[in-house]
C-alpha cells in the first residue's frame, strides 16, 4: 500500500487508524480512479468513529453538493450510536454513504439519511394504489 500513488493523500489517516486503513484505501481509490469523482479529500471522523471518511463530488450530476462516504468492512458491526457519531462528525451533511467492503475487495454503497426521509417518487397520498371503489 505504501508504494501506491494515492497513499500520500491518505497517509495521516492510514497511520492514525490502522484497523480501518484497508477500507479507506479501497473506497478512496474506487471513487478517484474507477468512478472519477472530483475534489476528493479525506476527512477525519475523530475518536468516536475511529476512522477516516471521504468527501467528494460525483461526476456528471446536477448538484454541486459534496458527498461523504464512510468506509467500513462488511464484517464490522454498524450500530445506531456509531451512525449518529458519524453524522455528528459530518455536521454539514444530512446524508452519508456507507462504503461496505468485502474480503474480495468488492464495495457496495448504501445511502443513509439523518432522520426520516420520504423515498423519491413515493406518492404522498398514502399506499392506496390505483384501486377504485364502486
Give 98-119 as a DSSP string. EEEE-TTS-EEEEEEESS--PP
Assigned C-alpha cell, 14: 492510514
Angle between helices 21-29 and 7-16 (to 10 degrees): 160
Structural domains in the chain, CATH included, are 7-113 (3.40.1350.10)
The predicted model scores a pTM of 0.80
From CA 31, how far away is CA 34, in angstroms rounded?
A: 6
The reported pLDDT for the residue numbered 124 is 56
Can you point out the beta strands (E) in 29-126?
Answer: 38-44, 52-57, 67-73, 95-101, 107-113
The reported pLDDT for the residue numbered 132 is 46
Residues of the chain with pLDDT under 50: 126-128, 131-134
Burial class (CB in 10 A: 0-12, 13-18, 19+), 31: buried
The reported pLDDT for the residue numbered 93 is 84
Amino acid at each position: 500500500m505504501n508504494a501506491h500513488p494515492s497513499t500520500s493523500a491518505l497517509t495521516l489517516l492510514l497511520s492514525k487508524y490502522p484497523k480501518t486503513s484497508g477500507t479507506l484505501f479501497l473506497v478512496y481509490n474506487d471513487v478517484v480512479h474507477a468512478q472519477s469523482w472530483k475534489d476528493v479529500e479525506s476527512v477525519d471522523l475523530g475518536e468516536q468513529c475511529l476512522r477516516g471518511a471521504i468527501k467528494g463530488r460525483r461526476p456528471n450530476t446536477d448538484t454541486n453538493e459534496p458527498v461523504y462516504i464512510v468506509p467500513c468492512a462488511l464484517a464490522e458491526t454498524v450500530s445506531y450510536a456509531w451512525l449518529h457519531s458519524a453524522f455528528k462528525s459530518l455536521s454539514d451533511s444530512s446524508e452519508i454513504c456507507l462504503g461496505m467492503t468485502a474480503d474480495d475487495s468488492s464495495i457496495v454503497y448504501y445511502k443513509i439519511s439523518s432522520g426520516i426521509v420520504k423515498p423519491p417518487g413515493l406518492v404522498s397520498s398514502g399506499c392506496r394504489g390505483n384501486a377504485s371503489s364502486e
